[in-house]
């Protein structure tokens, strides 16, 4: 059994006391140092973007009754530099890094390659890893300021399905550039919406009607709806080119088997799972990933699907 640690840096009231940000960060780094001394494998750090408190001032607050900030870590790469500098053995992980906000997948690929290059310079013989968990973020308000929102009637009608297709596009761009490829949006896979993408037939019919109205299809009996790229760009290559990917391990935060499998056509990518995930789904995922995992760094092992386990401490007298 391998044991990691999850740290959220959640700034909220405890018994009426609200710790300030400096105290929160100081406590986190103390906990990371202690986790290293205790032998934990990875310190996974939650990521949050944009203030939850400020977002409550807008219509449609996502957590209206929560007091404080869900998390204070906005950049795992900056946090990891500090953790690595103050510990000896522990790896650092992101749970998760949002590759949609803050510039999108191109910016994130370049930032990660820069981190890996600087990390090698600061500790050239280290085998410790950046465990990069990545996904699309948990709150839409973190992404909408960066243009990740529906545009026009068709996207509004299909957004709940469409955003997953755009996340797949982001995954492809991010991983291919991270791998060191040069590409433009013309080189990115074409994607479509099909009936199987929708849970209800009525939703698929409305998508067809909206697509025809926007000129994406000629008739509402079409078998698929072709999608334009969300990210449009000329050929790019992210720098530094000489980045040590051997100090990076990737884990995707998506429950969609298609997306998990697709990511592994590019680079080896593990899969996050939660404590609430049914055992049957966990076992199916292990069996499927044993076949679809990109084995350029070895075959699939169960630790490539880290799981969350909640442990509660009780300091009541007489309990050991």
67 assigned to some structural domain: yes
Answer for the pair 38, 4: CB distance below 8 angstroms, yes or no: no
Answer for the pair 41, 32: CB distance below 8 angstroms, yes or no: no
Q: What is the pLDDT of residue 10?
A: 95
Query: Do you find a cis peptide bond into 96, omega within 30 degrees of 0?
Result: yes
- Helix axes 21-38 and 76-85, enclosed angle (nearest 10): 50
Nearest to 76 by CA among 250, 278, 236: 250
277 assigned to some structural domain: yes
What's the domain range around 38? 5-148+170-178+241-304
318 assigned to some structural domain: no
Other CB atoms within a 10 A radius of the CB of residue 93 amount to 26
Q: What is the pLDDT of residue 1?
A: 83
Q: What is the pLDDT of residue 313?
A: 78
225 assigned to some structural domain: no
Nearest to 72 by CA among 46, 91, 94, 98: 46
Q: What is the pLDDT of residue 273?
A: 85
284 assigned to some structural domain: yes
User: Into how many domains does the chain fold?
Assistant: 1
308 to each of 5, 164, 189, how far by Cα in Å?
A: 9, 23, 33
235 assigned to some structural domain: no
CATH code of 117's domain: 3.20.20.30
In eight-state DSSP terms, residue 297 is T
Q: What string of DSSP letters covers 9-54? A: --B--BTTB---HHHHHHHHHHHHHHHHHHT-SEEEE----S-HHH
Q: What is the pLDDT of residue 244?
A: 92
Q: Which element (helix H / strand E) includes 211?
A: helix 201-213
Per-residue pLDDT of the chain (320 residues; tens, 9 = 90+): 889 999 999 999 988 899 999 999 999 999 999 999 999 999 999 999 999 999 999 998 999 999 999 999 999 999 999 999 999 999 999 999 999 999 999 999 999 999 999 999 999 999 999 999 999 998 999 999 999 999 999 999 999 999 999 999 999 999 999 999 999 999 999 999 999 999 999 999 999 999 999 999 999 999 999 999 999 999 999 999 999 999 999 999 999 999 999 999 999 999 998 777 888 999 999 999 999 999 887 899 999 998 877 777 787 887 65
Q: What is the pLDDT of residue 296?
A: 87
**What distance in Å separates the CA atoms of residue 25 and residue 22, rounded to the nearest whole number?**
5
| Cα–chain center distance at 275 | 17
In eight-state DSSP terms, residue 108 is H
Answer for the pair 143, 149: CB distance below 8 angstroms, yes or no: yes
195 assigned to some structural domain: no
**What distance in Å separates the CA atoms of residue 106 and residue 231, rounded to the nearest whole number?**
9
Strands 130-135 and 91-98: parallel
167 to each of 52, 143, 149, 199, 236, how far by Cα in Å?
A: 23, 12, 12, 19, 20
278 assigned to some structural domain: yes
Most distant CA pair in the chain: distance in Å?
74
Task: State the pTM of this model.
Answer: 0.94
Residue 272 has φ and ψ, to the nearest 5°, of -75, 145
Using the CB atoms, write b or e for 23-44: b if 16+ within 10 Å: ebbeebeeebbebbeeebbbbb
């Amino acid at each position: 059994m391998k044991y990691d640690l999850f740290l959220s840096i959640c700034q909220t009231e405890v018994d009426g006391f609200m710790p300030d940000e400096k105290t929160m960060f100081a406590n986190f780094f103390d906990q990371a140092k202690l986790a290293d001394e205790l032998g934990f494998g990875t310190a996974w750090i939650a990521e949050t973007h944009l203030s939850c408190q400020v977002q409550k001032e807008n219509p449609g607050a996502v957590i209206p009754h929560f007091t404080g900030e869900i998390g204070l870590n906005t950049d795992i790469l900056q946090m990891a530099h500090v953790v690595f500098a103050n510990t000896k053995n522990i790896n650092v992980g992101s749970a998760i890094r949002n590759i949609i906000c803050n510039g999108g997948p191109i910016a994130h690929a370049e930032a990660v390659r820069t981190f890996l290059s600087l990390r090698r310079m600061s500790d050239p013989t280290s085998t410790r890893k950046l465990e990069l968990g990545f996904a699309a973020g948990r709150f839409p308000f973190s992404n909408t300021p960066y243009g990740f929102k529906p545009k026009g009637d068709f996207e509004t009608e299909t957004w709940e399905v469409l955003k997953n297709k755009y996340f797949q596009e982001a995954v492809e761009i991010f991983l291919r550039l991270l791998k060191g490829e040069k590409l433009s949006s013309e080189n990115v896979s074409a994607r479509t919406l099909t009936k199987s993408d929708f849970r209800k037939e009525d939703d698929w019919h409305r998508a067809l009607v909206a697509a025809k109205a926007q000129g994406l299809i000629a008739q509402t009996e079409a078998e698929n709806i072709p999608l334009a790229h969300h990210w449009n760009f000329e050929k790019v290559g992210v720098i530094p080119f000489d980045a040590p990917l051997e100090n990076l391990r990737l884990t995707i935060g998506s429950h969609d088997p298609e997306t998990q499998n697709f990511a592994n056509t590019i680079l080896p990518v593990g899969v996050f799972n939660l404590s609430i995930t049914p055992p049957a789904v966990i076992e199916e995922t292990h069996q499927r990933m044993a076949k679809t995992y990109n084995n350029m760094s070895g075959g699939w092992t169960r630790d490539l699907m880290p799981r969350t386990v909640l442990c509660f401490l009780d300091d009541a007298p007489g309990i050991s």
